[in-house]
Amino acid sequence: MSRTVGHLPLASLSLDSLDMEDYEVLGEVGTGAYGTVYEARNRTSGLHVALKRVPLLSGEEGVPVTTVREVTLLRQLGNGSHPNIVRLFDVILLKDGHECNLGLVFEYLQQDLENRMKQGDLTPSFIKNTVRQLLNGLDFLHSHRVVHRDLKPQNILVARDDCIKVADFGLARLYHSGNMTLTTKVVTLWYRSPEVLLVGSYDFSVDIWSLGCIWAEMLCRRPLFPGKNEADQLTKIFCVMGTPSSDEWPSESSIPRAVFDGYSKQDLQRILQDASIDTISLLELMLTFNVDTRISAQHALNLPYFSS
């Protein structure tokens, strides 16, 4: 069986069914790098679902590696076992004449966090509740040794009751201790941690950095570090958070610290003027350069910000 770079044989997935007779497509929701998402309805139960249609490379072969990874990880996590992780209902083969597509059937949520932010409907209680739920979701993932690696507003789903769910596990990985590195293609630029940009070693804390960036964006209604490219992204980070010390700079990075020397740390309270002291305190623990001192999801949930 042939195999193409970035794709795996269909046999690498265990399909739940071979067609989509059980589902009625209602309309297109959006298009991403690995397929188109539709709103659909289960003909038997009437349940509305999100159907991700993933093109197969050739016939029934050539499933994108990201799709295999997403399905495998969600199944390993015990699909539907956590309220802040999106649920995968079904994996089906969509046949249309000689064309085959893979269908991933997820629970349907009305919008993502990016659209919610565009609407401007971000009350202090919604922001706090969103951060708490995301930390709960990340704590669950990290306790199962899963690093999401692509946390961003588009991958955070919001239900009508403001229940938050982490979605899109195509770039997620099981973490193995040791000197593991990320490529710079991981994590959308504005939410990328410094160690990823510097191609250093990583752990679960890359997700905490991304959450800190998302939280700050909700507070100030604009991205905190809106870099245009990788070098500009690092500059944007150091302009706010200051240039790390020589001891903190990753020894394995090919980028010399001298390139970014001389930036002083700004007062986040001046940037996020309406934020409380507890908010600033926790944000700084999320956005620290040193991965050894960056706060964990479990620890963050126990801080005063969530008890006030």
Q: Which residues are catalytic?
A: 150
Instruction: Give the phi and the psi of residue 20 in degrees, each rounded to 5.
Output: -120, 35
Length of the chain: 308
Angle made by CA atoms 151, 179, 7, in degrees to the nearest 5: 55
DSSP 239-267: HHH-PPPTTTS-TT-SS-GGGGTTPPPP-
Burial 83-116 (b: 16+ CB within 10 A, else e): ebbbbbbbbbbbeeeeebbbbbbbbbbeebbeeb
- As a whole number of Å, the CA-based R_g of the chain is 20
d(CA 170, CA 142): 16
d(CA 24, CA 101): 16
